[in-house]
Amino acid sequence: MTLTPETIDLLIEARWIAQVQPDTLLDNHALAVRDGRIVAILPTSEARQRFRPTQRTTLDRHILIPGLINLHTHAAMTLMRGLADDLPLMDWLQKHIWPTEAANVSPQFVLDGTRLACAEMLRGGITCFNDMYFYPEAAATAATEFGMRAVLGITTLEFPTPYASDADDYLNKGLAVRDQWRGHPLISFCLAPHAPYTVADTTFERVLTLSEQLGLPVHCHIHETRHEISEAIAQHGQTPLQRLHRLGLLGPALIGVHAVHLAEEELDLLAATGAHIAHCPTSNLKLASGFAPVAAMLNRGINVGLGTDGAASNNRLDIFGEMRLAALLAKGTSGDAATLPARQALRMATLNGARALGLSDEIGSLSLGKAADICAVDLGSLETSPCFDPVSHLVHVAGRESVSHVWIGGNCCVDNKILTSGRANNLDSVVALWQNSLEVRRNN
Do 413 and 36 contact (CB within 8 A), yes or no? no
**Strands 276-279 and 254-258, sheet pairing:** parallel
* DSSP state, residue 223: S
The list of the chain residues with pLDDT below 50 reads 1
Residue 1 pLDDT: 47
Give start and end residues of each alpha helix (H) in 39-159.
44-50, 89-91, 98-104, 107-123, 136-145
Cα(173)–Cα(244) distance, integer angstroms:
24
In order of their start, the domains of the chain are: 6-66+370-409 (2.30.40.10), 68-356 (3.20.20.140)
**Strands 218-222 and 254-258, sheet pairing:** parallel
From 357, 371, 245, select the one nearest 307 (Cα to Cα).
357
Q: What's the pLDDT tens digit per position in 174-187? A: 999 999 999 999 99
Cα(65)–Cα(236) distance, integer angstroms:
45
pTM above 0.75, yes or no: yes
Cα(230)–Cα(240) distance, integer angstroms:
9
Q: Give, for 102, the enclosing helix (H) or strand (E).
A: helix 98-104
| Helix (H/G/I), strand (E/B), else coil: 211 | helix
Residue 444 pLDDT: 67
Residue 90 pLDDT: 85
Do 156 and 165 contact (CB within 8 A), yes or no? no
- Number of Cβ within 10 Å of residue 388's Cβ equals 6
Do 147 and 411 contact (CB within 8 A), yes or no? yes
Cα(208)–Cα(254) distance, integer angstroms:
10
From 335, 441, 313, 324, select the one nearest 392 (Cα to Cα).
324
Cα(308)–Cα(257) distance, integer angstroms:
11
| Helix (H/G/I), strand (E/B), else coil: 430 | helix
Cα(73)–Cα(154) distance, integer angstroms:
13
Residue 384 has, within 13 A of its CA and on its CB side, a CA count of: 23
